[in-house]
Each structure stands twice: as C-alpha cells, then as structure tokens.
Structure 1
Amino acid sequence: MSRRRQLHMFDNTTESELHEQTFTDAVPTSQRYLHRRGETYYFKRKIPTDVPHAFGSKGETHWQSLKTNSLQEALRRLPAEIEAFDSKVRKARESRRQGKVPVASRPRTEGTTKYLQEAHIPSIIERFEYSLLQTDMEERRVMEDDAELDIRLADFEQGLKLKKRAAAREEFSHVEDVAQVLLEDERLIAPPGSAARTLLLRELMRADIQTLQKQCDALRGNLFALPPTVPVAPRDLPTMQTAFEAWRQSQDKDRTIDAYGRYVRQFESENRELPMASISLETANKFRDYLHGCDLDRESIINCVGGLATLWDFYERKSNRITSNPFREVQYDGLPRRESSVDRRRFEVSELAILFNSPVYLGQHKLKGQVKESAYWAPLLGPFVGARIEEIAQLRIADILRINGVWCIRIENLEHDQRTKNMGSHRLVPMHKEVIQCGFLSYVAKQKLAGQTHVFPSQRNTNKYRLWSNALTKWFGSYMNRIGLEDPRLVYHSFRFTFKRQCTVCGISDEVRDALTGHWLSRNSSNVYTSDADRQYPFPAVARGIKKLRYDELDLRHLHVADPFDQVDRAWKY
C-alpha cells in the first residue's frame, strides 16, 4: 500500500505524524478503527446488530475519543479500546444467552417516570379538586355576612357560565397556566402539543367546571364531603418496581430475587417507570417483541414476562386491588420454539463410563478445596438419586437415615441454609445398592463419627446466592471438558434427565418416578390440609421402585469397596 493510501485512511494525518510510526505495506486490521475528528484521534467501530443496547446508545456506531492529537500515542492506546469493545460485546452476548437484556446504567429514580402519562392525569385532577374544595370549605366557614355569600355565588355562577362556553368551543388556553403549575408541583414534564398534555387540559377544564358547580351548590346549602385523605401524588402511583419491592419481602432466595429484579429493570429500561395503570396489553406485547428483537429465546421471554405477571398478581392481592393483569394475557404463538435438549441433555451410558473411569475415580487426581469430597460423590450419586445439584450439595448428616431397614436420602429444607426448589420437592429417596456398594454410606458414617454436620464438610455457601453447590458447579463443568465430555449440554442436571429416562426404561411407574424426583405433588393435589413435607408418596412403593433401577451396561465394580457398611453400626446407634 502506498504512503498516499495510508494517509487517506487516517483522514487528516500529516506526513510528519506518519514518520512517528513505522508501517508495513498493509495497514493492520485494528488500525482501521482509528479515525480523526479535528485534531483528536478516535476509536470508531460498528456496533454488532445482535447487541444493539450494549453501549447505551441506539446508534449503529461506537465512537470513543483517544484524547490525543499524536498518531503514535493514538496507536498505543488503540489496542486497549479494541479489547474493551470486544469485552463489552462478549458480556452482552453472554447475558443474552442467559436470558438477560442489557439495561440502561442510569440509576432508578424515585417514583414513576417524570414524563406525563395518561395514568397520571386522574391523580392530578383528584388532587386539584381536593385542593380547590378544601380551600372553598375553609373560606365559607369564616363568612358571617350573607351578602358575602351572595356575592361569591354570583361570581361563581358567572365564572361557571363562561367556562362552560369555553368548553363548548373546546378552548382550553385559559387553563394552560394552571396545568403548568400543577405539572411543576407534581414534578412532571409534558411538552406543549403532546397528546398527554392535551388530555390533561381537557380533563382539567372538565374538573374545573365540576368543582365550580360543587362550590355553587355548597353556597346554596348542598354541602359536599372531602375524601378522608389527600389523593395520592401521581409520581407515587405504584409501578412494577413498587410491586417488586412488596414481593421481595416474601422471598428468601437471592437468586430468584435478582432474577425478578432484572425483569423489572429490563421492562423499565425499555418503557420508563410507568405507573401500573399505564401498562396495557399493548405495552406488554411490545415488550415481548422487544425481548424477541434482542434475540432472547422463547423460554427466556416467557420467564421474563411471566415474572412480571407474578409480581403484578402479588401486588394486586396484597393491596386488595382488582385489575386485569396485562402480562397474563400475552401470547407467545409467534415466537419460535426451541428444539428439545438444546440447552441440556441426558448422559449416554458410554459417557457415564468415561466419567467414572476418569482420573478422579481412578485415584489419579487429588481433589482439594471446597470440592474435596463432593467432586467424587456428587457425580456418583447423580444417576442413582436424580436430585438437583443444590439438593445434593447441601445434604446434612441428618439427611442420611434408615427407615424400616431401608437406607435413604432425605431431600429437605429443615435447616435455615437448606433449600428446595419448591414445597413439593420434599421427598425421601431410597439409597440405591450401587451407591452403597461404592462406599457412600460408610463415607457418611466416618464423617458423622468425626463430628461433621454436613455430608460434604469442605463446601461453603458464602457466595452471593448462598449456594452450597457454587464451587461444585464450576468444578464439574471444567472437569467435564478436561476428560473430553465437552458438549455444553452435558451439565450436572443431565444426571436428572438420565435418572428419569432410566426409570422409564426399567419399568418404574410414572408416579413412583415423579415421587423420586419431587414432582409427585404437582400430579396429586389430594390431602390439601396436609403439609407438603408430610404429604409423601408411600415409602414402600418408592423403595420397591428404586430396586428396579439399573444400568446394565455401566460397570462400576472398580469403585466398590470391601466393606460398604464399615463404621455404619457404630455411627448410627439406635
């Protein structure tokens, strides 16, 4: 490339500045992002179409000043800007895959949006009427002369006549000043000529006439009554944030709270802080389409809109309001369905064989840190228990018990730091003979004799969401890649899919399978006056069911221990 062509690429770059940097015949791709405005160099790059809001702008191009007029310095600073840009795009795409949408970084203001909404107007009018009638009431009470009352009535009747004539001509200019004062008092903005401001003027005229009529009637002896309290200010009307704050008081799972808070931020980032009364089915449908335009999949969109519907329902019940929930009426027929197993799938038996013949299970890899115990036992329990990773990770010693001679694992939330997905997840899972043969019961016995309270004592739940499985989840994903099981659809939850399918293959009934996985209560709503923890599927049936479960093609004999009941009798003295 000629020196003249290089000069053209850098716009107004001078020959002397070009001598500050030695160029090859071809300008590097990264330098194509270098541009000059006046005397200052800029980083310029097109924003990818799949993350349009990642840079807080709806424009197509990102500009960033390099704050220098020296080409050499600009080239030195350019790589950092490129890396920052690429990092922001990566994070935005990752957020999108996780069902998140980039939201505005501006802080959430108190109350509703400051831009006048139609839903603000009834509140403005009610407060306007309240103020006029309260003042009128106070002034009439101090009038002792009947002549004063007569003069006041005559003035009001004349004013009423003039205002009705103006209303008939739809001439609202004389209430413009009043409207502006009210908007300033209520901290609202309504540009002249806007639809909302025009509606406010019309309603203000109607209210002015109606109030003046009440004042005339009162002067004739037909008294009116004021509301017991001052009407709520328009900026104090409930919003989705209000509903969220009320709902979160009833929740104890930080991850769920964060997810629902994100749904509200996503909605308000696109729609401002609308009063709930302003949110219509059209608003909700447009938000659905916005999420779809951000390339969220169908399930993520349903979760987000459904979460807002849950918040709406909760607030309505709490405040004894009865209004239509627009988020409940949203339809998703036009959204493409995700192919099954696109995110997760079950393990094939051959893949289980790879896992259980990997370094951890051959004694070739020393485990340490928080996963010192759980990294060995949690995957081994997976295909035989069918539990979620947090249900396994949080197990207490007390959750390993014997019922009528059958050893089982109790999935419960009896302790303050234990959680189940829902109330129906309480269950007893009989311990599979393969798990016992591999030494799990003996392992727990030794932990109990050592004075431990947790089955996996090295784990901690000091992370943001107080999850016992936090470190285990990260380790498992990394280890799967290390041993060649790199399919991102294979996660710990895949054991649960594997367990369910194998129950069906082995002839275990659907009811027993659901009882083992914590889904039976969703199928059976009988005994509604019994707590979920006590409303259990007959234990003998699940004990018989677990005996049918087998993986004939999976050989775990190399993991069997010589004495699977070592220390068990000593640990559990009944």
Structure 2
Amino acid sequence: MSRPQLHPRTKVFWLRRRVPADLVAAVGRKEVTLSLGTKDPAEAKRRFSEELAKLEARWAALRQGSRSLTEIEAHGLAREVHDWWLQKHQANPSEQSFWRTDLGGKLWAALPAADARTLLADFLHGSFDPERQSAREMKAWCVQTAERLLGTRGLIVDEVGRERLAKAVAAAVQRASLALARYAQGEFDGVPVVATTQALSLAVSKEQKAVSFEELVKGWAAEKHPAPKTLYEWKRVIGQFAAFLGHEDAARLTPDDVIRWKEALIAEGLSPKTISDGKLVAVRTILQWGADNRRLTNNPAERVRMNAKRKAAETIRGFSDEEAAIVLRAALGEADPVLRWVPWLCAYSGARVSEVCQLRREDVRQIEGIWCMKFDPEAGPLKTASSERAVPLHQALLDSGFLTFARSVASGPLFADLRPDKFGKRGGNGTKVLGRWVRGLGLTDERLAPNHSWRHRVKTLGRRYRLASDIVNAITGHGTRTVADQYGEFEMAALHRELMKIPALVSSSSA
C-alpha cells in the first residue's frame, strides 16, 4: 500500500508493504508490517514516509549485498557522531565523564574484546583493572554506535568495514572530547575567552533545541504560500533528506551532512540540474527560512551548490518550421479538443501549456475590440505575476474556427474532459497527453520539449520578424528586465499589431 493503514480495532496507523519477490528469501517473510505509533493522520503520513524510505533503503542494500567501507567513508559516516557529541556536552563540557581522552586513542591497540566471564575471572583473581574496564565499555559503545549508524542507512557491511566504522566513531568522539576539554578551560580553538557574557555568547552558541524539518516546512509555507505542487515536491525532498540523515532534527545539521547527501545523489546518477534545482534548492530555502526566523543558528546548506550548467547539446530548442508544420497539420485532423486546439493556441502565442489547458469560456473575450484569450488566476494557478495577461488571438486561430469551438462551450473550462491532476491543474495531465502525442508524430529529438518548445519558437519568430522585444515578453508572460519596461501600458492594439507580423504557417484548409 502507498499510504498508512488504520487498524480497525486500535485506530493506530500502520505501515504494510509487500516484500519484493526477489527479497522474500533474504527477508524471511512476504510482507512487512510496522506500527506507526500514532492515531493522528498527518503525523502518520510523516512517519509512514520516513519508515518507508528506511525500509526501501534496507531492501536496496540487500540487493546490493554486503560491501565494505573505506576509511574515508567510515570517517564521513562518523562525522555526525562528532557533531552530536559536541552539541550534547558543549553547555557544560566539564561534566562529560564517560569518554576518557587518555584511553580514546588506543582502544583497539590495547584491548581484545572481553565477555562477562573474563571480567568476573579478573575480579576473582584480583586482577580487575578499572582502566581496562572503562576502555572495554568505550570500545563496546563505539561498536554499538557504528551498528546504529549502519542500521539507519540500511547498509550491509562486512566485518572489515564495521570495524573501520567503529574505529572512526572512536576517533570522532576522541576529537570532540578533546575540544570539550579545551572548552572546559575557557579555550576555544586554542584562544582564551574573556570571561564576559558577551564574549561567551560569541565563543559558544547556546545549545540549540531540536527543530523538526516539518516545523520549518510548515512555517515557510505559511509565510510564502507556495504553489501546491511546489509544496508537495519540496515536502517530498525534505522527507528524502531526513531519511538519508536518519533523523528529523534540523538543528543537528552540519554542512558536511548536506555535502554527503549531495555526493549520494551524484552517486545515484541524478543529473546536475535535478540535484541543483530539484533537491538542493528546496533544502537550502527551507533551512534559510529557519535561520532568518531564528529557528536555527545558521543555514548549513547556504554554500552547498551543484554546477548545473547545461551543455549546448542539452538545451531545449524551439520547433523548426518543418517540425511545427507537422504538429499543426496533425492537430487539424484530431477530434479531441485538447489535441486539436492546444498546440495551435501555443504556436501562435507562446503561452505555457498549463495556462492554455485551464482556459474557460469566459476567458475568450473581446478587449478593446480585439478577440483575446485572458490568462486569469481565477481559472487556475499561474507561474508568476507577469503570467496574468491577455493575448490577442492570431488570425490563423480565427480562420481555423477557434471562436466557433469556444462558443460551443456554454461556460466553464474549454477542455472540461481533461481531468485535473492532484494539484487541481489540468495542465499536468495535458502536458502528458500532448507529450506522448507529439512524440508519436516522430519528433523524438531530446532537445525538443513537446510543449515548451512552442515558447522558444515564438521568441525565435519575434527576432526573425522584428517584433518589439518588450511586447514579445508581454505576450509570452515573461517578466520585465528593466525599470523602463515597467512604464506605460501594453495596449491590445499594439500587441495585436506585433503578433500579426508572424505569418500563418499552416492553413486550416490543409487538413
């Protein structure tokens, strides 16, 4: 199941997931069930996402099989233990008594593992050594902590890798404890601290209370009012990030955590643009809101970037005249209103497919005596403030019978049979339908975006036929570039005059 299930008797939500067939033997059962420990639907969804990510990570690790860890990888994993240990004890560093720095650097050199019988025998024979006992406890703690680190990430590691991670944990806590010893003496990075409240606040930040990612997302969303799709996608990204970390506390984050995540995304084979714009931007923005609103002391992702420059061969291009003609002629023969009219409306306006798909009967109107289509936020969400606009209908659309089609709709959406997606946008499903249809016409060049390439084409035609650049921006809904562009009005007659400089490419009589 893809959502939490409510137990009929206890009313507590559960996770149920069928084990993939290839893993049944390794897991030992066909289905995994796990109580989410809550009756709150919203909390259940959050815990479900977190537990499902952990479960799928464990399954992925099972498929990959046992692996080892390099020393560098082990130290990278152990870095969060270092930061957690410092944070846990930084307010009162002298009270840290478990980790003895005089023993921390020689745990594996000094002691073999000892079981309870060995310790009892030492005690009975009078050879019990408290120092050896402390070292054994520290070493056992490192081994257990390493196991927890592996468990939260679903990693299956061989004995060599597990020992390397346990040693890395010891090294991390040793470094942190040495730093705490200096803090206890009033020294930070070797610099004595002036005993004033102001100096102390500069040297040691106050202990940061836990701040959940969910709290930050809710605060950011309440202030910024993002589009539903953006909020959905960013929540999903933040959930993936938390699953990778193995915890929900944004206050524990370090820049190294964000860098480790970026490196993991690169290793998964995600494109630079996806990592930069689809992943890092979401995390960086949410954390920045937390820092700006004093939920966090800083933004650990502030300087973490991904070079996402596209190569020339990867950039989207507009339809050529020949390609545009293929699409427009094919549309003439379609009975489905979406396939018949949306490509033509985009071709002669440069409008976004999402804008066209949500047009209503009342949005096709005369303004200043000129037939136009108006992109109104009441019809559905628009990408930017400049996207709200009216665009004259090109003569090719009038000659092709678009007004007759529009008048045939009594009221409401022109493309009522196009089902809205989960965000209430007809453009989501319209993009999929049109994309498959255009590719089916043989236009398979990956640089062609079946829908967005119309916007690129209109820009190209604007240059070819010398349309005024500010008017082309007003037609396509691009924002103004200079303060001067914001002066004056864009009269419909001026928009119509410039748009009509673009000649009709296909006659409606060619169907």
What is the Cα deviation at residue 392 of structure 1? 0.5
Q: In 2, Cα distance between the equivalents of 1:293 and 1:169?
A: 36
Q: Does 1:542 align with 2:487?
A: no
Match of 1:56, SS?
helix
1:57 is aligned to 61
Match of 2:317, SS?
coil
AA partner of residue 329 (structure 2): N
Match of 1:549, SS?
coil
Match of 1:57, SS?
helix
Asked if the contact 1:284/1:327 (under 8 Å) is kept, the reply is: yes
Structure 1 residues 390 and 117, CA gap change in structure 2 (3 angstroms): farther
Structure 1 residues 282 and 539, CA gap change in structure 2 (3 angstroms): farther
Asked if the contact 2:87/2:207 (under 8 Å) is kept, the reply is: no
Deviation track 1:216-246 (CA, whole Å, cap 9, x = no partner) reads xxxxxxxxxxxxxxx9997x52254543343
Q: In 2, Cα distance between the equivalents of 1:341 and 1:499?
A: 21
What is the Cα deviation at residue 390 of structure 1? 0.9
Structure 1 residues 257 and 499, CA gap change in structure 2 (3 angstroms): same
Match of 1:469, SS?
helix
Structure 1 residues 427 and 58, CA gap change in structure 2 (3 angstroms): farther
Asked if the contact 1:117/1:278 (under 8 Å) is kept, the reply is: no
Bigger shift: 314-323 or 472-481? 314-323
Asked if the contact 2:461/2:502 (under 8 Å) is kept, the reply is: yes
Q: In 2, Cα distance between the equivalents of 1:120 and 1:248?
A: 32
Structure 1 residues 171 and 350, CA gap change in structure 2 (3 angstroms): closer
Count matched residues.
374
Structure 1 residues 167 and 459, CA gap change in structure 2 (3 angstroms): closer
Structure 1 residues 328 and 515, CA gap change in structure 2 (3 angstroms): farther
Asked if the contact 1:394/1:468 (under 8 Å) is kept, the reply is: yes
Structure 1 residues 412 and 547, CA gap change in structure 2 (3 angstroms): same
Match of 2:302, SS?
helix
Q: In 2, Cα distance between the equivalents of 1:386 and 1:518?
A: 9
Q: In 2, Cα distance between the equivalents of 1:284 and 1:543?
A: 50
Q: Does 1:118 align with 2:83?
A: yes
What is the Cα deviation at residue 284 of structure 1? 3.2
2:422 is aligned to 464
Asked if the contact 1:117/1:196 (under 8 Å) is kept, the reply is: yes
**Where does the alignment leave 5 or more consecutive residues of structure 2 unmatched?**
1-21, 29-55, 67-77, 105-129, 150-165, 187-204
Q: In 2, Cα distance between the equivalents of 1:478 and 1:253?
A: 26
What is the Cα deviation at residue 379 of structure 1? 1.0
1:217 is aligned to none
Q: In 2, Cα distance between the equivalents of 1:556 and 1:332?
A: 47
What is the Cα deviation at residue 407 of structure 1? 1.9
Q: In 2, Cα distance between the equivalents of 1:167 and 1:55?
A: 35
Structure 1 residues 123 and 412, CA gap change in structure 2 (3 angstroms): farther
Q: In 2, Cα distance between the equivalents of 1:277 and 1:260?
A: 19
Q: Does 1:194 align with 2:170?
A: yes
Asked if the contact 1:244/1:261 (under 8 Å) is kept, the reply is: yes
Q: In 2, Cα distance between the equivalents of 1:326 and 1:169?
A: 29
2:291 is aligned to 316
Q: In 1, Cα distance between the equivalents of 2:99 and 2:400?
A: 88
- TM-score, length-normalised on structure 1? 0.54
| Pairwise CA RMSD | 4.6
- TM-score, length-normalised on structure 2? 0.60
1:501 is aligned to 460
**Rg: which structure is higher?**
1
**Where does the alignment leave 5 or more consecutive residues of structure 1 unmatched?**
1-33, 41-51, 63-112, 130-159, 211-230, 368-372, 561-574
Q: In 1, Cα distance between the equivalents of 2:413 and 2:295?
A: 44
Match of 1:401, SS?
strand
AA partner of residue 514 (structure 1): N
Asked if the contact 2:354/2:431 (under 8 Å) is kept, the reply is: no
AA partner of residue 390 (structure 1): S
What is the Cα deviation at residue 378 of structure 1? 0.5
Task: Select which of 195, 199, 220 maps to 1:247.
Answer: 220
What is the Cα deviation at residue 483 of structure 1? 3.1
Q: Does 1:338 align with 2:313?
A: no
2:266 is aligned to 292
Match of 1:456, SS?
coil
* Identity across the alignment (%): 19
Asked if the contact 1:399/1:409 (under 8 Å) is kept, the reply is: yes
What is the Cα deviation at residue 326 of structure 1? 3.9
Q: In 2, Cα distance between the equivalents of 1:347 and 1:405?
A: 32
